Amino acid sequence: MARVPVQFTLNGEERAEFIESGTTLLHALRDTMGDTSPKGGCQQGTCGACSVIVDGELRLSCLTLAQTCEGAAIETTAGLAAGGVLHPLQRAIMDGFAAQCGFCTPGMIMAAKALLDHTPNPTREDVIEAISGNVCRCTGYEPIIAAVLAAARSNSQNAG
């Protein structure tokens, strides 16, 4: 089997590993790098559970080859809580009961983070659009939308 080196930063930390050539970012993260926060739902691009941020852009790690991320900055939900303090999105999801089984949650959070990184004060429509590639079988979406809007409000309060 052809093993190849890959090197990128994962949640701010330099990582270099050998992976099998052609491995998806999802499998590289989960199986080799020990970050199981991105979930493998469909491996077809339809559920969004595997969503991560690569160089500031939301991507589906199940359809991204790890080798194409050489030198990139990758963010996953595992890196969000700084020093044990939850990220405002994590806090809002918990406070608003916006996770039930939780399988979609890491992907939802990354999709929402990608939105808030570019659009700190989104409208409800912006939020719906931002999570439109993420499927949730439990919550009916309303609590998630409310939580993302709440996180945006708490962010802007902190900033102000």
Ligand X SMILES: Cc1cc2nc3c(=O)[nH]c(=O)nc-3n(C[C@H](O)[C@H](O)[C@H](O)COP(=O)(O)OP(=O)(O)OC[C@H]3O[C@@H](n4cnc5c(N)ncnc54)[C@H](O)[C@@H]3O)c2cc1C
In the complex, the residues that contact other proteins under the rule CB under 8 A are 1-2, 20-22, 24, 43-45, 48, 51, 57-60, 62-65, 67-68, 111, 114-115, 128-130, 132-134
Considering the complex, state which of residue 122 and residue 143 has its C-beta at the smaller distance from ligand FES. 143
> Binders of ligand FES among 19-78, rule CB under 6 A?
40-43, 45-50, 60, 62
How crowded is the C-beta side of 49, counted as CA atoms within 13 Å?
A: 18
Q: What are phi and psi of 18, to 5 degrees?
A: -100, 130
Query: Does residue 94 touch ligand FES according to CB under 6 A?
Result: no
Query: Does residue 22 touch ligand X according to CB under 6 A?
Result: no
99 close to 93: Cβ distance less than 8 angstroms: yes
Residue 142 partner contact from ligand X, other proteins, ligand FES, none using kind-dependent CB cut-offs of 5 to 8 Å: none
Site string for ligand X, 79-98 (x = CB under 6 A): --------------------
Minimal distance in Å, beta carbon 143 to ligand X? 24
Amino acid type, 142: E
Distance CA 76, CA 51 (A): 8
Name the token pair of 76.
């996953």
Considering the complex, state which of residue 23 and residue 90 has its C-beta at the smaller distance from ligand X. 23
93 close to 109: Cβ distance less than 8 angstroms: yes
The correct pick among 5, 12, 22, 45 for binding ligand X (CB under 6 A) is 45
Distance CA 19, CA 55 (A): 21
Minimal distance in Å, beta carbon 83 to other proteins? 29
Non-local (6+) Cβ contacts of 42 within 8 A are 49, 62
